[in-house]
Amino acid sequence: MSQSELDILEIISSVGQARNYYIEAIQEAKSGNYEACNELLKKGNEMYAKGHRIHQLMVQTEAGGERVELNLLLTHAQDQLMSAEAFKILCDEFVDVYRKFDEVNNRLDMLQG
Protein backbone atom coordinates (compact mmCIF):
# COMPACT_ATOMS: atom_id res chain seq x y z
CA MET A 1 0.00 0.00 0.00
CA SER A 2 1.37 3.41 -0.92
CA GLN A 3 1.96 6.25 1.56
CA SER A 4 -0.77 8.23 -0.18
CA GLU A 5 -3.27 5.42 0.37
CA LEU A 6 -2.23 5.14 4.02
CA ASP A 7 -2.71 8.89 4.44
CA ILE A 8 -6.15 8.68 2.85
CA LEU A 9 -7.15 5.84 5.17
CA GLU A 10 -5.91 7.90 8.12
CA ILE A 11 -8.16 10.77 7.03
CA ILE A 12 -11.15 8.43 6.84
CA SER A 13 -10.39 6.89 10.21
CA SER A 14 -9.71 10.18 12.01
CA VAL A 15 -12.74 12.06 10.79
CA GLY A 16 -14.95 9.02 11.28
CA GLN A 17 -13.88 8.93 14.93
CA ALA A 18 -14.44 12.68 15.17
CA ARG A 19 -17.97 12.31 13.85
CA ASN A 20 -18.69 9.60 16.43
CA TYR A 21 -17.36 11.81 19.23
CA TYR A 22 -19.61 14.66 18.06
CA ILE A 23 -22.67 12.39 18.11
CA GLU A 24 -21.79 11.19 21.61
CA ALA A 25 -21.25 14.79 22.73
CA ILE A 26 -24.75 15.72 21.60
CA GLN A 27 -26.16 12.76 23.55
CA GLU A 28 -24.28 13.82 26.68
CA ALA A 29 -25.52 17.40 26.31
CA LYS A 30 -29.05 16.11 25.93
CA SER A 31 -28.58 14.28 29.24
CA GLY A 32 -27.20 17.44 30.86
CA ASN A 33 -23.75 15.91 31.33
CA TYR A 34 -21.69 18.83 30.06
CA GLU A 35 -18.41 17.66 31.56
CA ALA A 36 -18.50 14.49 29.44
CA CYS A 37 -19.83 16.53 26.52
CA ASN A 38 -16.89 18.93 26.68
CA GLU A 39 -14.41 16.04 26.80
CA LEU A 40 -16.01 14.40 23.78
CA LEU A 41 -15.99 17.71 21.89
CA LYS A 42 -12.29 18.08 22.67
CA LYS A 43 -11.53 14.55 21.42
CA GLY A 44 -13.68 15.10 18.33
CA ASN A 45 -11.92 18.35 17.52
CA GLU A 46 -8.51 16.69 17.90
CA MET A 47 -9.45 13.83 15.57
CA TYR A 48 -11.03 16.21 13.06
CA ALA A 49 -7.91 18.39 13.11
CA LYS A 50 -5.71 15.33 12.52
CA GLY A 51 -7.68 14.31 9.43
CA HIS A 52 -7.87 17.88 8.20
CA ARG A 53 -4.08 18.35 8.54
CA ILE A 54 -3.39 15.27 6.43
CA HIS A 55 -5.81 16.48 3.77
CA GLN A 56 -4.30 19.96 3.89
CA LEU A 57 -0.83 18.49 3.31
CA MET A 58 -2.12 16.64 0.26
CA VAL A 59 -3.61 19.86 -1.09
CA GLN A 60 -0.33 21.70 -0.45
CA THR A 61 1.58 18.92 -2.21
CA GLU A 62 -0.53 19.31 -5.32
CA ALA A 63 -0.37 23.10 -5.12
CA GLY A 64 3.42 22.72 -5.05
CA GLY A 65 3.34 20.99 -8.40
CA GLU A 66 3.38 17.33 -7.36
CA ARG A 67 0.38 15.47 -8.73
CA VAL A 68 -1.92 13.78 -6.20
CA GLU A 69 -3.88 10.93 -7.76
CA LEU A 70 -7.61 11.45 -7.55
CA ASN A 71 -9.33 8.14 -6.96
CA LEU A 72 -12.44 6.77 -5.31
CA LEU A 73 -10.66 6.35 -1.96
CA LEU A 74 -9.59 10.01 -1.89
CA THR A 75 -13.08 11.08 -2.95
CA HIS A 76 -14.51 9.04 -0.08
CA ALA A 77 -12.03 10.61 2.36
CA GLN A 78 -13.03 14.10 1.25
CA ASP A 79 -16.71 13.19 1.60
CA GLN A 80 -16.10 11.90 5.14
CA LEU A 81 -14.11 15.04 5.98
CA MET A 82 -16.99 17.25 4.85
CA SER A 83 -19.49 15.10 6.73
CA ALA A 84 -17.45 15.37 9.94
CA GLU A 85 -17.23 19.13 9.49
CA ALA A 86 -21.02 19.33 9.15
CA PHE A 87 -21.44 17.20 12.29
CA LYS A 88 -19.00 19.47 14.12
CA ILE A 89 -21.03 22.56 13.23
CA LEU A 90 -24.34 20.91 14.14
CA CYS A 91 -22.88 19.50 17.35
CA ASP A 92 -21.78 22.96 18.47
CA GLU A 93 -25.27 24.28 17.75
CA PHE A 94 -27.08 21.42 19.50
CA VAL A 95 -24.89 21.69 22.58
CA ASP A 96 -25.55 25.41 22.73
CA VAL A 97 -29.30 24.85 22.46
CA TYR A 98 -29.25 22.17 25.19
CA ARG A 99 -27.24 24.47 27.48
CA LYS A 100 -29.69 27.32 26.99
CA PHE A 101 -32.64 24.99 27.45
CA ASP A 102 -31.18 23.75 30.74
CA GLU A 103 -30.51 27.33 31.88
CA VAL A 104 -34.12 28.31 31.20
CA ASN A 105 -35.40 25.19 32.99
CA ASN A 106 -33.15 25.94 35.99
CA ARG A 107 -34.47 29.50 36.16
CA LEU A 108 -38.06 28.28 35.99
CA ASP A 109 -37.37 25.75 38.74
CA MET A 110 -35.92 28.52 40.92
CA LEU A 111 -38.93 30.75 40.32
CA GLN A 112 -41.38 27.96 41.05
CA GLY A 113 -39.60 26.53 44.06
Give the SS3 label for residue 1.
Answer: coil
The residues carrying an active-site annotation are 76
* Alpha-carbon span 56 to 54, nearest angstrom: 5
